[in-house]
Amino acid sequence: MEDHITPRRVVILGGGFAGLFAVRALRKAPVEVTLVDRCAHHLFQPLLYQCASGILSSGQIAQPLRAVLRRHGNVRCVLATATDVDPFARVVHAESADGSLLALPYDNLIVGVGVRQSY
Ligand SMILES: Cc1cc2nc3c(=O)[nH]c(=O)nc-3n(C[C@H](O)[C@H](O)[C@H](O)COP(=O)(O)OP(=O)(O)OC[C@H]3O[C@@H](n4cnc5c(N)ncnc54)[C@H](O)[C@@H]3O)c2cc1C
């Protein structure tokens, strides 16, 4: 009888620097990665100044996450806003762009949703 090992489910919240680093680190791991971001694109924040000053267009500093990760066979991108994490049930609750509610089970959770300034 064949021995089937279910791949671990890794949910990554945020497709910024941290989220993409995690995706890349897991590229060859036997895991199923679900990358959740409320935006469809990765924003390269260090170039925001150049965008604000008109040197670059917004399209030059933002790339669709699906395009960035197109060669990553173990990743699926979910366009949704994470609203809650239930660490006991190991489920992320999220709201997708069309308003539908998602429950994303995980074995391992990586949170990389960035920060908010407070001047
Ligand atoms: C103008 C500017 C210039 C900078 N220059 C440099 C530099 O030269 N060198 C350097 O090292 N750093 C620089 N930084 C800092 C660097 O950009 C940040 O440290 C880095 O982006 C942080 O990465 P992160 O993954 O933690 O968060 P982010 O890159 O902010 O990514 C967070 C992601 O999470 C998503 N998200 C947030 N909340 C939710 C939610 N509830 N559900 C789903 N998705 C969510 C967001 O859409 C986003 O894609 C600069 C920042 C700015 C603003």
Spell out the per-residue pLDDT of the chain, length 119, in tens: 555 677 799 999 999 999 999 999 999 999 999 999 999 999 999 999 999 999 999 999 999 999 999 999 999 999 999 999 999 999 999 999 899 999 999 999 999 999 988 88
Q: How far apart, in whole angstroms, are the C-alpha atoms of residue 20 and residue 110? A: 11
Ligand 1 atom nearest the C-alpha of 49 is: 1
pLDDT at 6 (0 to 100): 76
In a domain, 3, yes or no: no
Q: How far apart, in whole angstroms, are the C-alpha atoms of residue 35 and residue 88? A: 20
In a domain, 53, yes or no: yes
48 lines ligand 1 (CB under 6 A): yes
Q: What is this structure's pTM?
A: 0.94
14 lines ligand 1 (CB under 6 A): yes
Query: Domain tally for the chain?
Result: 1
In a domain, 84, yes or no: yes
Full residue range of the structural domain in which residue 64 is found: 8-111
Measured distance between the N- and C-terminal CA atoms of the chain, rounded to whole angstroms? 62
In a domain, 119, yes or no: no
pLDDT at 59 (0 to 100): 93
44, β-bridge pairs: none
The CATH number of residue 98's host domain is: 3.50.50.60
